[in-house]
Homo-oligomer: A and B are copies of this chain.
Amino acid sequence: MSRDDRRTQLLEVALELFGARGYHATSIDHIIQKASVARGTFYLHFRSKQEIFDRLLDHLFERVTASVAPIRIGPPGAMAAEVRANIEALCTTLQENLPMGRVLLEQAVGLNEVGREQLRGFYGRVLDRIDLAVSVGQQLGIVRPGEPSLISLCLLGMLKEALYQQIIGTRSFATELVVTEIFACIQRGVLVQVAL
């Protein structure tokens, strides 16, 4: 087995285990047994348990990032459709790969040693990207006025929460419905438009 194949195999095994049992409850022993390799082989590819988790996050971040496309400037309707498409892509990606969702939305949170910096960095970049989209949207008159960073936060929050609750099993809905409702919140908010 080539070096790269083995490394990939270990990452896959780790994803499944971290997703199913969590970071701390997964031991190197679990990983190597599931991968049917010797203890030393693991350390041939990763310096530590922390490192394989790090590299796994890198990998998952890339996949998530790749699943969304930048919004291209065009008529408002088309742009809204692209936003909606991105939401749908994210939901689909994470729901089709449950371990990935669990690791990103559950396991990577609350890890002081490993994930904190990574997550901060990841969300920092994600938010920057949404920020930019929001700002541009405001200039184009598509997005309502307001502090772009906080609007981004709200967008991200709705999405993450919907996915998270599905993952931990509190609520469960068809992806189509989830996307529709999130998009409705984005378009119209929650309250009926009355004069307050």
A131–B189 CA distance with the chains assembled, in angstroms: 16
Residue of B nearest to A172 (CB): B149
Are B109 and A109 interface neighbours, CB within 8 A? yes
A163–B159 CA distance with the chains assembled, in angstroms: 15
Copies of this chain held together in the complex = 4
Q: Is A186 an interface residue (CB 8 A)?
A: yes
A177–B58 CA distance with the chains assembled, in angstroms: 33
Number of A interface residues at 8 Å Cβ cutoff, please give it: 65
| In the complex, per-residue mask of A137-167: 1 if CB is within 8 Å of any chain B CB, else 0 | 1000111101101110111111111100100
A binding-site residues for B, Cβ under 8 Å: 21-25, 76-77, 80, 106-113, 116, 119-120, 123-124, 127, 134, 137, 141-144, 146-147, 149-151, 153-162, 165, 168-171, 173, 177-178, 181-182, 184-194, 196
By Cβ-Cβ distance, the 5 closest A-B pairs, closest first, are A157-B161, A150-B181, A189-B189, A157-B157, A110-B110
